[in-house]
Amino acid sequence: MRSGKTAFILTDLISKIYQKQFSDNKLPTQRDLASSYHVSRFTVQKVMKQLQNIGLVTAIQGDGIYIRDKALDNPMVYNSLTEVSYRELSSRMLFLNEIVAGTELGSIFNLSPDDKIWQFQRIRIVNYEISQIETSYMPVKLFPDLNRETIEDSIQNYVLKKGFKISHYMTAYHPTLLSKQESELLNCKKNTPAMSITSRGILKDGTIYIYSNISAIHYECTYVIPFNKEVYKGRRK
């Protein structure tokens, strides 16, 4: 979880990057940023690391920190996990089952209720602290060899290596309270506030490749999205 000052600097720099306030796409030096925000260089270094982890900037040794080419071409969403490098993130599988899809999951994946899907649960660990419980589902016919090693590594990497092209994710958020079982896994008290996240991963051809339900603590999320004039006009009618 970011401190208040670190969070402010991170958000402020992202805002300034999208406002194109930095000439030659180069950020000020760490010394100048520390002076401008009245913080230590250590705090600035933490922010720079987060900006690199979410893919907005790149550091060139001996030259400085630059905004990445095409980094501003797409809407951006970053959260408590996407700003963490894979070196600091690990997963531990709790179970993996092959089940029949049933009506609801069959509808989500456009499958017959009798088709087989994988059901797995894993915990996500950031800097040695359990921060999320994820229960996910994937079609067996697309991923017949799904296993523990893949689940504890990277699902996205596994999907891409199989030649699939990931298009986008549809994600819904709502606040919740942890159940007794969730609180035990997350080492929290029952009814601790958390974020419930439901997500569908969609391939380029429109196929849903994964459906996930996540309970997360210490969750933070920031969006940078384009203004949709047509939606705005429709809401004004």
Separation between Cα atoms, residue 47 and residue 132, nearest integer Å: 23
For residue 160, the model assigns a pLDDT of: 97
**What are the structural domains, with CATH classification, of the chain?**
4-72 (1.10.10.10), 86-223 (3.40.1410.10)
Q: Is 218 left (phi over 0), alpha (psi -120 to 50) or beta?
A: left
* The 3-state secondary structure of 59-98, one letter per residue: EECCCEEEECCCCCCCCEEEECCCCCCHHHEEEEEEEEEE
Q: Which residue has the tokens 């796409």?
A: 25
Residue 11: which H helix or E strand, with range? helix 4-18
pLDDT digits (tens, 9 = 90+) for 12-65: 898 888 878 898 899 999 999 999 999 999 999 999 988 988 888 999 988 899
161 CB-side CA count, 13 A: 10
pLDDT digits (tens, 9 = 90+) for 163-182: 999 998 998 999 999 999 99
